[in-house]
Structure 1
Amino acid sequence: MNFQGLQAKYRRLFQESTAWKLLRADNAPIILAFIADLFSDESEVPFGRARVALDAELERCRELGIWETETTGAAYLNQWIRSGWLREMDDKLTKTDASEVALRFCQGLDQRSTGTTASHLRIVQEAVRDFAVAVSPNADERIALLEQRKSELQREIDALNAGVVTQLSEVQQRERIREIYQLASVLTGDFRRVEDEIRELDQAVRVQMIEGGSKRGDLLLSVMEKEMLLAETDAGSAFEGFFQLLCDQNRSTEFKDQLRSILNRPVSAQLTQQQHQFLSRLMRELSHESERVFHIRRRTEESLRAYIESGAALENRAVDKLLHQLERLAIDLKEAGTEPKTSTSLSLPVGPIQMSSPDNMRLRMPDEKLNTSGVEEQTNSRIPNALMLDCLDTVKVKEIAMLTRDTLLKHGPMTIASIAARHPLTSGLEELVAYLRVARSVGATTLNDKEKVAFLDKQGVRLEATIPKFLLTADLFPDSIEEMAL
């Protein structure tokens, strides 16, 4: 690409890129610092807490004389949401892909590392070797590459059996563990991009419905085609690949154990407290992010389905047509030199106008006095009856949580139906609800389909219920069950 082409490309990015707009905002240092601090411990923050935190920071800046305006924190948050730097859903704030890119750029300026390090070269060499094996159509060439890797591993095994243990130097250890953090820190960016693409899909379908005269069947087909394309994008395929790894019990367990082993070694002192905390809860954070993507995709599908079935697109198209007609008539009158107060016989099909006043409101009469003449006073009994004792025999949710965690530690990731198959439900619907409460409390991943659970009530009657399908893993549970909000 020549100079003119690159100049046009960068000019377009300069004008359209949300991340670039954030970096060149007047108060970019304050905005980036607040976003980084607000989401340092969690990926979702209630809007109210963010507003209070921003008001406190702005007041402190006013006292120091570095902030002059009296604009409230809520106004700034709404402005940042409109600018695409934050996203609000269900009264909770999250970062967008644009803010992730801007923060990563700033962190790269402060934490620059040499681009020719041995760690980078090793990662590139391993990636090239694995890719060469994967894309080679020649079976003999694949076998030769795999045999070469096998011989390298065998030499290392022979050296260990001979008592030769090669240790990495402190510089190499520091370099590699920081490289692990850098690679892990960009994982959440894929989820932000998937969220943006889902919302762009929603917007594109709605615009297509309003501007065109497509039928409902054609629109549903368009939605399904766009969803298939979404899964084939870089962000979508990254998410699908991650979810497959999450469901792989051996890979996820191995990854979690190895990560815990690294963080328990002295080399973890090379990480900051924030980096150490991020890696220690990486699997839980990724599970939470995947659950959020599923939630957004499910809400988008439900919203589009309701929008299509309600016929709101036809109403919007009729309103747009009516406004266009009104604008055309106004332009014609202006071009004809008609005075604004001139009476005309023009009319628009807007329907009858209904007017009312508070005098037309009918007030409700207060309820009549309750008749208690037939009520007899009875003395409370000090001896509980059998019905009361039966009601007190409830399911203990914390015990259900402990049983679930122990089962997951022993057998790996499972759904509620799989757990119920190993530990049959005998206390009826209340016990099933307890499992659902545990899944919601730990933030288990919600899958797109549903599952059926068979159980017995307290009278021994066999029942069957259809529930959402949750994927539970042991790493979602805290170290102490008492910390769970049940």
Structure 2
Amino acid sequence: MNFQGLQAKYRRLYQESAAWKLLRADNAPIILAFIADLFSDENEVPFGRARIALAAELEKCKEQGIWETETPAGAYLNQWIHSGWLREMDDKLSKTDASEIALRFCMGLDQRNTGTTASHLRIVQEAVREFAVAISPNADERIALLEQKKAELQHEIDALNAGVVTQLTEAQQRERIREIYQLASVLTGDFRRVEDEIRELDQAIRVQMIDGGAKRGEVLLSVMEKEALLAETDAGSAFEGFFQLLCDQNRSTEFKDQLRSILSKPVAEKLTPQQHQFLSQLMRELSKESERVFHIRRRTEEGLRAYIESGAALENRAVNRLLQQLERKAIALKDAGVESKTATVLSLPVGPIKISSPDSMRLRPPDEKLDTSDIEEQVNSRTPSSLMLDCLDAVQVREIALQTRNTLLKHGPMTIASIAAIQPLKSGLEELVAYLRVARSVGATSLDEKESVEVLDKQGIRLKADIPKYLLSADLFPDNIEEMAI
């Protein structure tokens, strides 16, 4: 590509790339520092907490004279979401691929290490060897390459059996563990890119439905085709590969054990505390990221299905046709030299428009009387009805506690099921819950088992419930039942 092509490419990125816009923002250092600090411990933060944290930081910046602004923190967060630097879903914020790229760029400037050239070369050599074996169509050539690799492994095994243990130098250990961190830190960016591609897929399909007039079957076929293309992208293949690793219990367990072993060695001291924490929680963070990608994909599929079934695409297509007609009419009037304020008889088939406001509501005048002709006066009764008495017939927990203590004094330590066998429960589940509250209040011994209790409700229906097994005794109860916290 020549100079003109390159400068056109970079100019386009300069104007369109959200990561580049973030890096050249007026307050880029403050924005990047806030994003890095906000997501230092978790990948999703509630919007309210982020707003409070940003408000506190803005106040500090104002006191120090770094950034004097009267704009509220919530407005800045919404602006950053609109710019593509943050993503909001279900009232939670997360980083985007653009912010990940900008943060990695800044960290790369500060953590630049030219000593990793040997480590990079080793990784490239191993990748070239494995790729050469994988793509070779000649069976003899592939066998020769594998035999060479086998011979190298056998030589290393023989040396170990002979007692020759080759140790990496301190510099080599430092290079390799930092290289592990650099490679692992890129994975989260891959997941962010998968999220962006899923949203771009959703948008592309909706635009296709509006512009192309495709039928539902054609749209569903397009969805499946684009889902297949999504899996073939760099970010999509990285996600698919990790998901296969996650599903393989042996590989994931081996990976976690090896990471734990590396971080327990002295070489782990070459990492910063943040790098050490990141690697120690790598599998957990990647599991959360994969769950988030599946959640977004499921939400996108559900939204597309609802969009297809609701017929909203047909309505949007009709609106689009009307707008196109209006644009053509406007261009024709302009070409004819008609003034913009000239009255026309132009009408579009948009249907009736109904506008309502609080001013259109009919309010009752103060002098308008209320019609009470069909209202009959009722005399209040002094005798409570049976329905009212049933509502007031609630279980008294302190009476249950007193009855339970008297039963235990007479029969000795018992469980709730044994007490219920002597004093049947006739007030339903409410009475059973009262017994459980009494047992928890006196600190009855839990036997780590369950027992079955039969209960009769107020309608005489027999219920059977499985409850925790508590052993109660009379000495657990205070002398004054009123002192119990139930």
Q: Normalising by structure 1, report the TM-score.
A: 0.75
Matched, 1:239 2:239: yes
Which residue number corresponds to residue 192 of structure 2?
A: 192
TM-superposed deviation, 1:270:
0.9
Shift in Å at residue 308 of structure 1? 0.9
| 1:80 corresponding residue in structure 2 | 80
| Letter of the structure 2 residue corresponding to residue 352 of structure 1 | P
1:358 and 2:361 equivalent? yes
2:213–2:317 Cα contact (<8 Å) kept: no
CA distance, structure 1, for counterparts of residue 116 and residue 174 of structure 2:
15
Offset of residue 191 of structure 1 = 0.6
Amino acid at match of 1:373: S
SS at match of 1:60: helix
Using the TM superposition, give the Cα deviation of residue 338 of structure 1 relative to its aligned residue in structure 2, in angstroms. 5.7
1:88 partner letter: E
Superposition deviation, residue 351 in structure 1? 2.5
Aligned-residue offset at 1:231: 1.2
Q: Deviations over 1:397-452 (max 9, x none)?
A: xxxxxxxxxxxxxxxxxxxxxxxxxxxxx99xxxxxxxxxxxxxxxxxxxxxxxxx
| SS state at 2:250 partner | helix
2:28 alignment partner AA = A
The unaligned stretches of length 5 or more in structure 2 are: 365-369, 404-419, 437-450, 453-463, 467-486
For 1:174 and 1:339, locate their aligned partners in 2 and report how far apart those are by CA, in whole Å: 72
Q: Give the superposition deviation at 1:85.
A: 0.9
Indicate yes or no: 2:321 matched with 1:309.
no
| Counterparts of 1:354 and 1:54, CA distance in 2 | 43
* Distance across 2 between alignment mates of 1:392 and 1:229: 60
* Partner Cα distance (1:242, 1:128) in 2: 21
Alignment: residue pair count: 395
Greater relative contact order: 1 or 2 (C-alpha under 8 angstroms, separation 6 or more)?
A: 1
Q: Aligned in 2, Cα 1:142/1:311: closer, same or farther, shift over 3 Å?
A: same
Letter in 2 for 1:210: I
Q: Does 1:143 align with 2:146?
A: no
Q: CA deviation at 1:250?
A: 1.4
* Paired position in structure 2 for 1:203: 203
Is 371-380 or 206-215 further displaced after alignment? 371-380
Distance 1:116 1:292, change over 3 A: closer
RMSD over aligned CA atoms reads 3.0
Q: Is the 8 A contact 2:23 2:102 kept in 1?
A: yes
Q: Which residue of 2 aligns with 1:257?
A: 257
- TM-aligned CA deviation for residue 240 of structure 1: 0.8
Mapped partners of 2:330, 2:126: distance in 1? 69
Residue pair 2:181, 2:275 contacting (<8 A) in 1 also: yes
Cα 1:127–1:339, aligned 2, differ >3 Å: closer, same or farther? closer
Tell me, what secondary structure is at the counterpart of 1:43? coil
Distance 1:391 1:136 in 2: 72
The answer on whether the counterparts of 2:259 and 2:279 sit within 8 Å (CA) in structure 1 is yes
Which amino acid in 1 is paired with 2:307? Y
The aligned counterpart of 2:62 is 62
Q: Could you say which residue in structure 1 is the equivalent of 2:172? A: 172
CA contact (8 A) 2:116 2:175 kept: no
1:46-445 to 2 correspondence within 5 Å?
Answer: 46-114=46-114, 117-330=117-330, 335=336, 337=338, 340=341, 342=343, 344-354=344-354, 357-359=360-362, 372-374=384-386, 375-376=388-389, 378=393, 380=396, 382=400, 385-386=424-425, 388=429
Three-state SS of the structure 2 residue aligned to 1:70 is coil
In 1, the alpha carbon distance for the partners of 2:434 and 2:260 equals 42
Deviation at 1:329, TM superposition (A): 4.4
Classify the secondary structure of the residue corresponding to 1:94: strand
| 1:124-154 Cα distance to aligned partner (Å, 9 max, x none) | 1111111122112222222222222222222
State the SS of the aligned residue for 2:114: coil
SS at match of 2:93: strand
Distance 2:347 2:230 in 1: 46
What secondary structure sits across from 1:41 in the alignment? coil
Equivalent position amino acid for 2:49 in 1 = R
- Give 3-state SS (helix, strand or coil) of 1:218's partner: helix
Does the Cα contact within 8 Å between 2:210 and 2:314 map onto a contact in 1? yes
- 1:346 to 1:152, Cα distance in 2 relative to 1, 3 A: closer
Deviation at 1:117, TM superposition (A): 2.6
Q: In structure 2, what is the Cα distance between the partners aligned to 1:459 and 1:231? A: 50
Q: 1:393 to 1:227 in 2, by over 3 A?
A: farther
Q: Distance in 2 between matches of 1:338 and 1:122?
A: 73
Identify the range of structure 1 (29-38 vs 160-169) with the bigger mean alpha-carbon deviation.
Answer: 160-169
3-state SS of 1:81 partner: helix
Q: Which has the larger radius of gyration?
A: 2
